[in-house]
Amino acid sequence: MNRTVFILNGPNLNLLGRREPHIYGYTTLDEIRAASLATAAELDLQCEFRQTNHEGVMVDWLQEAFEQQAAVIINPAGFSFHSIAVLDALKLIQAPLIELHLSNIHARDELHRHSIMSGVVNAVVCGLGAAGYPLALRAVAQLLTRDV
C-alpha cells in the first residue's frame, strides 16, 4: 500500500500570514508545511508539500500523484471556483482525496462559496484554519487503513 500523500496548495497561499489575515489567519505556509511534515511522520506517511500559483503546474502535480497512486490533500484556493482543468485532474485520483480550505467557504460571499471540486473528493475540511492540515492528514491515514 502506498503511504505517500501530496499536499497541494493553490494560488496566493504562498502569502499566508500576510494576505487577508482576517480571513486566512496569521500562520504562514512554511509553518503549515512544518506542522504537516511532523504529522505525516507521526502517521508514517511520506509527504510531498507543494504550492503553485499556476494552474498547469497543479494539473501536472495531480497527474504525478495519480501515476504514483498517492493520496492527495488539496487546498485549491482560487482554482476551487472555476478551474475545469484542475477538476478533471482530480478525477484521476484513485487514492484518498481531501479538499481543504482555511476559511469556511460556505459562510463567505457568493463568489467564494461554491467549490466545483467538492463533488469529486472523499471529504472537505474547511473553516479550521491551519489546524485543518493535520486533521486532513489523519483522515488520509484512516482512509488508507480502511482501504486495506
Provide the annotated active-site residues: 24, 101
- What does the DSSP assignment read for 34-75? HHHHHHHHHTT-EEEEEE-S-HHHHHHHHHHHHHHT-EEEEE
Annotated binding residue 122: no
Q: What angle do CA 28, 30, 31 make, to 5 degrees?
A: 65
Number of other residues whose CB lies within 10 A of the CB of residue 99: 24
Annotated binding residue 16: no
Annotated binding residue 88: yes
Say if strands 71-75 and 123-126 run parallel, antiparallel, or are unpaired: unpaired
Annotated binding residue 103: yes
DSSP state of 83: -
Known binding residues: 75, 88, 102-103
Which segments are annotated as binding site for substrate? 75, 88, 102-103
